[in-house]
Structure 1
Amino acid sequence: MPGRSPARSRRATERKGDVRERAILDTCEALLAQKGYDAMTVGDLAQGAGITRGALYFYFGSKQEAVTALVARTVEHLWERSRTTAQADEPRQAIAAAMQRTVDLWNEHGLVMRTAIDLSLTVPEIGELWSRTADLFITAITAVLERAGVEAGTEPEQASAMARALCWMIERSFYHASQESREELQRASSTCEHIWLISAGLVG
C-alpha cells in the first residue's frame, strides 16, 4: 500500500497545527473573561486547549505571546472589516459603515481590545501592534476627510491631524463604553460618528 506523499503529510500537519493554535487563542480569550490576564497561566491555556504544557510551548513561549497573537488576530478582523472605508465613494456612508463595523467587533471582542490597550504600554509587541493598527485607521480616516473636502496636511485644522485625534478619541470612547453595555457602546459610537461628520464638514 503506497504511503502518503510528504507534501500531503505536511499539509495535514499544518491543518492540525492551525486547529490547535486556534483552540489556544480561543481558550486565551475565554480565560481573559474568566480570570483576567494576571491570573491565567500557561497551564490554564494548555488545559483549555486540550493539550499538554509541552505541546503549548511549541506554539507560544508564554501567556504573553499567546495574548499578543490573540490581539493580532482580533485587530486583523477589525481591519478586514473596515479597510474598505478609504475606497468608499460617499464619505457619509463610509463613516457610518466604518463606525458600525467597529461597534460590531467591540461587541464581539471588547475584552481583547481593552486588554490590548491595557498592555500596550508594558508589552512592547502589543504596543507596536496597536500603534500600527491605529496608523492604518488614521490613514483611512484621513482619506475620508480629504474626500469630503478637508485640506490635506498635518496642521491642526488639516486632515491628517484631525484624523489622528478622531482615531484616539474613538478608541478611548469605545474602551470605556464597552465596559458598560452594548447600548452605551452604540451611544458612544453615535457621538463619535457625529463628531467625525462635523469634522468632515458634512453637518452644520
Structure 2
Amino acid sequence: MPGHHPARSRRTTERKGDVRERAILDTCEALLADKGYDAMTVGDIAQGAGITRGALYFYFGSKQEVVTALVARTVEHLWERSRATARHDEPRPAVATAMRRTVELWNAHGTVMRTAIDLSLTVPEIGELWSHTADLFIAAITAVLERAGVPPGSEPRQASAMARALCWMIERTFYHASRESPEKLPEAAATCEHIWLISAGLDS
C-alpha cells in the first residue's frame, strides 16, 4: 500500500534527526569542557558529531544556537530536581536531598552550567532559561522554608526573600567550586546546606 511508505520514511527521518541532534549536543558539551565556548567552532562540533558543517546548519544556525539548545536540555534536568525537592514533606531531609542532587548535577553538567551563567547576560535566550530555572528553585526553597516555619512573604525575614538569596548563594558557591575541581563540590554542598538549615531555624 503506497500510502504507508511516506509515513514510514518520515518516522525514520525523525528518529535519525533525533540521534543527530543528540550527537551534536553531546559533542558540544564535550568541547565546552575541552576547549571552552570561545575556542570551540561550528566545524569542531560538526566533526565531533560525525556530520558536515552543512548538515549541522540544518539543525542549528550558529554555535550560539547549539549552546542554547544544550543549556535548554540541561535545565530540564534542573527543573526535574527542583520539583523533586518540593515533594519532600520534612524540611531537613528535603535540604539534604536538594544538596546531594545539586552535587550530582554539577558533577554531570558543570561545564554547561558555568557556560550558561557566563552567557546569561549576553545571550537573551540563555538568560531567560537560567532565570526561569532560578525561579523554580526559589519556589522549591521557599516551600521548604515555609514548612520549617519561616513566615511566607517577600520581606527580608520572610521565606520568599530568604529563598531568593539562598538560591543565588548556592549558584555562585557551586560555580566557583566547580571551576576549582569536582572534589570541592561536596564541601560547597555542606556549606550551603548548613546555611540553609540556619536560615530555616533547623541548625540544632
**Local SS of the residue matching 2:180:** coil
Distance in 2 of aligned mates of 1:47 and 1:84: 37
For the residues of structure 1 that align with 2:190 and 2:3, how far apart are their CA atoms? 60
Structure 2 residue aligned with 1:113:
113
Write the letter of the residue equivalent to 1:133: T
Query: Does the 8 Å contact 2:85/2:98 carry over to 1?
Result: yes
- Please say if residues 82 and 102 of structure 1, whose CA atoms lie closer than 8 Å, have aligned partners that are also in contact: no
Q: Which residue of 1 aligns with 2:130?
A: 130
Equivalent position SS for 2:179: coil
Look up the match of 1:63. Answer: 63
Q: Secondary structure in 1 aligned to 2:183?
A: helix
Q: Using the alignment, how far apart are the partners of 1:87 and 1:34 within structure 2?
A: 37
Higher alpha-carbon deviation: 79-88 or 65-74: 79-88
Distance in 2, Cα, partners of 1:34 & 1:182: 15
Aligned to 2:157: 157
Q: 1:184 maps to which residue?
A: 184
What is aligned with 2:11?
11
**Unaligned residue ranges in structure 1 (runs of 5+):** none
User: 1:183 Cα shift?
Assistant: 2.4
How do 1:16-27 and structure 2 match up within 5 A?
16-27=16-27
**Equivalences for residues 29-44 of structure 1 within 5 A:** 29-44=29-44
Paired amino acid for 1:51: I
Greater CA drift, 148-157 or 3-12? 3-12
Secondary structure of 2:40's counterpart equals: coil
Partner of 1:104: 104
* Superposed displacement of residue 4, structure 1: 4.5
- Post-superposition shift, 1:87? 1.7
Distance 2:49 2:29 in 1: 11
Q: Report the aligned-residue RMSD.
A: 1.4
Determine the structure 1 residue equivalent to 2:86.
86
- Give the partner amino acid of 1:201: G
- Confirm or deny: 8 A CA contact 1:154 1:161 kept in the other structure: yes
Q: In the alignment, which residue of structure 2 is the partner of 1:194?
A: 194
Does the CA contact (< 8 Å) of 2:145 and 2:159 recur in 1? yes
- Which residue is 1:166 aligned to? 166
Q: Percent identity?
A: 84
Q: Could you tell me how far 1:6 is from its partner in structure 2?
A: 3.0
Q: Which runs of 5+ in 2 are unaligned?
A: none
Deviation per CA, 1:31-72, whole angstroms, max 9, x where unpaired?
Answer: 112211111111111111111111111111000000011111
CA distance in 2, matches of 1:81, 1:132: 14
